[in-house]
Structure 1
C-alpha cells in the first residue's frame, strides 16, 4: 500500500482496515488504479470517503459501505460507456458498485478511471 502524504488519508485507510479487511483490500486496489492513472492526482477525505482531485477539480471518489465499495465519478455522465456499466441517473455523476475483486476487472474500473482523470 502506498502511504499517503496526508495524515487524514492514512487515518481513514487505517479505520477501514480495522473495520473490514475485505473492504480495505477492495479500496486499496481501486485507490492504486487512481494513483497510477495520473501523477498530478491529489487525494483527500471528503463526504465520508477518499476523493481525488486533478487541477483542483474533484474527479471522483471511493466510498466504503457495509456490503460494497462505490466508485463515484463526478462527470461520469460524459463518459463513453458502450456496455452501460455505470450506474446512476443524475445530471453528471455516475458510479460503480464493487462487491469483490473480480468486479474491478469485469466493470472496467481502469477504463473509467482513465476517463475521469483525463477529461
Structure 2
C-alpha cells in the first residue's frame, strides 16, 4: 500500500477542520525553526519528524492535535504540560492555535530530540 504524501495528508487535515490545520502547520513551523534540517515523513496517520532519529510527530484528530514525543517519559517536564502515563511516550494536546505557544511546544522539541538520542 502506498504511503500518503505530505500534501495529501495536509489537505485531509484541512477538511477535518481549519483550526487543526493551522495548529499542525504551526507545529511544523516550530520544528523547522528549531531544527532546519529535520525530515518529515507521513506515517501512522500523522507527520513524524526526524533529525537522525524520529523524535516526535504531530497527529490531527476531530477535537485536538497531538504532538507525540517518542521518549517523552524521559523529559523533565518543568511546565507540567505533558500528558500520558506509558513507559515511553508523552504528548501535548493542542486545542487552539494559541496552545502551540502557551503549551511551549518549542521548549519541548530539543528535549524530545535529546531524550531519544540518549536512549538510542
TM over 0.5: yes
Find 1:36's aligned residue among 12, 33, 37: 33
The structure 1 segments of at least 4 consecutive aligned residues displaced by more than 3 Å after TM superposition are none
Contact 2:19/2:97, CA 8 A, preserved across alignment: no
Separation in 2, partners of 1:46, 1:37: 21
Root-mean-square deviation (CA, aligned residues, Å) is 1.5
Deviation by residue 1:3-50 (Cα, 9 ceiling, x = unmatched): xxxx81111112211332111111101111011111221101111101
Aligned to 1:81: 77
Residue 68 (str. 1) matches residue 64 (str. 2): yes
Q: How far off its partner does 1:72 sit?
A: 0.1
Unmatched tracts of structure 1, length 5 or more: 1-6
Q: Give ranges in structure 2 of 5+ residues lacking alignment.
A: 116-120
Higher RCO (CA < 8 A, seq sep 6+):
2
